[in-house]
Amino acid sequence: MNKDYNLFRDTVARFVDNEIKPFAEEFEKKEEFPKELFNKVAKMGFFGIRYPEEIGGSNGNTTMFCIMCEELARGYLSLAAITAMQCLMGTDFIFRYGTKEHYDKYLIPAIKGKKIPGFALTEPDAGSDLSNIKTFAEKKGDRYIINGSKTWITNAPIADFFTVLCLTDREKKLKSANFFLIPRDAKGISTSKKFDKLGVKSDEIGEVFFDNVEIPAENRLGEEGEGLKNLLKILAEIRVMTAALSLGLARAALEDSIKYSKERVQFGKPIGKYQAIRMKIATMATEIEVGKEFLYKVTEKLDKKEEADKESMMAKYFLSEVACRATDEATRIYGAYGFSHEYPVARYYADSRFLLYGGGTSEILQINIARQLGL
C-alpha cells in the first residue's frame, strides 16, 4: 500500500486503540446501541468516508473504507458493523438516487451521525433467495402504499429511516423490484424487539413491519424496475467490506493469542514455546496475511472501476472463514479461559459467526464462484 493509505491506517488504528478497544467489553455487556462510541466515530468523520467533500464526506475510496472497517473490527465488531451500515448500505442508494431534500433530511445528517439508517432487504422467506421477496409497493397516483415485512435488519429498533426493497408488480417479481426511502415516523411502520443474538450484541437487529405505509413517489430510489440492477452495483463493495470486517476480527484474535502465549506459563515455560501453540499461531498469521494481500488487490480493482465480482466473492468467502478459524483457535489457545468472558476471545468467537451471512453465505458464494469458473 502507498504512504497515504498507511498514514490513514495509523490514524484509525490509534483511534481504535485509544477510544474504542478499552471500552468494547463495557458496551458489549450493556447489549444496546453504543451511542457514545458511535458519536466518537462521527466526530472522526468516518461516516462520510465514501462520500464527496461537498456534502460533508471525505472523498475516500473503497480501499480506505475497507481499511477503516478492518481497524474498527479489530477493536469492536459491533461498532464496525454499525459503521459499515452508516457508510454504505444504509445511505448509498440515497446518495445515488435521492433528491436534494433527501440529502438535506437524511443523507447529510447520517454522515454527521445525527440520524441512523437501516437497510431492509431480507424477509422471513427470502434470504439467499431474493426472488422470493413479497414486500409490495402499490402505486396510487403520486404515492406508494407499502405492505410487508423485513427481518434481520440492522438498527431496526432504532433507525430513523430505512432503504427498503419492494416489488411493484407481483407477476414480474424481481424485475419490478425497487428501493424506497421510508422514514421511521411514517404511519404504519412498526418494529419487533431486538433479537437476542449469539454475538455482535451492541448491533441492534430486528424485524420491520409495513402496514399500508404511504410515501411520496419521489421516495423511490432509482428508475422503475431497476432495484436489483442497482443492488448489484454495490454488491462487490458489500462483500469486500464484510471481508475487511472479517480480517479485522481475525487480527484481533491473533494479536491476543500471541500476547497470551507469551504470558501464560505451563510446565515451566510460556505456552508459546510449545510446538502445538506455535503451529496454531503460524497458521492463523499465514491465512490472515494471504487474505489481507488478496483483499486489497480486489479493492484496488474496484477503485479503478474494474469488474471484480468473482474476486469480491472469493475475498468474502475466504476471510469470513479465516475469521471463524482464527477465533476458534484463539479459544483453544486460551484453554478454559477461552470459555470465559474474562478475556475478549469468547466475544471474538461468538462475533465471528455474524460474518458468515452478509454478502452471501459461504455455500452460496462457493456455488457462484464455481459458476463463474465455467462449472
Q: With beta carbons less than 8 A apart as the criterion, state whether 247 and 371 touch.
A: no
Q: What is the tens place of the pLDDT at every residue in 57-85?
A: 999 999 999 999 999 999 999 999 999 99
Helix (H), strand (E) at residue 163: strand 161-166
pLDDT (0 to 100) of residue 360: 93
Examine the pLDDT at 174 and tell me if it is beyond 90: no
Please tell me the predicted confidence (pLDDT) of residue 131.
Answer: 86
pTM for the full predicted model:
0.96
Q: Where are the domains of the chain?
A: 3-111, 117-224, 228-372
pLDDT of residue 25: 93
Residue 40 has pLDDT above 80, yes or no: yes
> Could you tell me which CATH number the domain at 117-224 has?
2.40.110.10
DSSP string, 175-211: GG-EEEEEETTSTTEEEPPPP--SS-TTS-EEEEEEE
Task: Provide the pLDDT for residue 272.
Answer: 97
Counting residues of the chain whose pLDDT is more than 70, the rounded percentage is 100
Shared fold status for 3-111 and 228-372: no
Query: In what side-by-side order are the strands of the sheet with 117-120?
Result: 117-120, 161-166, 178-183, 220-221
User: If you classify domain 3-111 with CATH, what class do you get?
Assistant: mainly alpha
Superfamily grouping for domain 228-372: Butyryl-CoA Dehydrogenase, subunit A, domain 3 (1.20.140.10)
Q: Is the pLDDT of residue 1 over 80?
A: no
d(CA 106, CA 301): 30
The 10s digit of each residue's pLDDT in 131-170 is 899 999 999 999 999 999 999 999 999 999 999 999 999 9
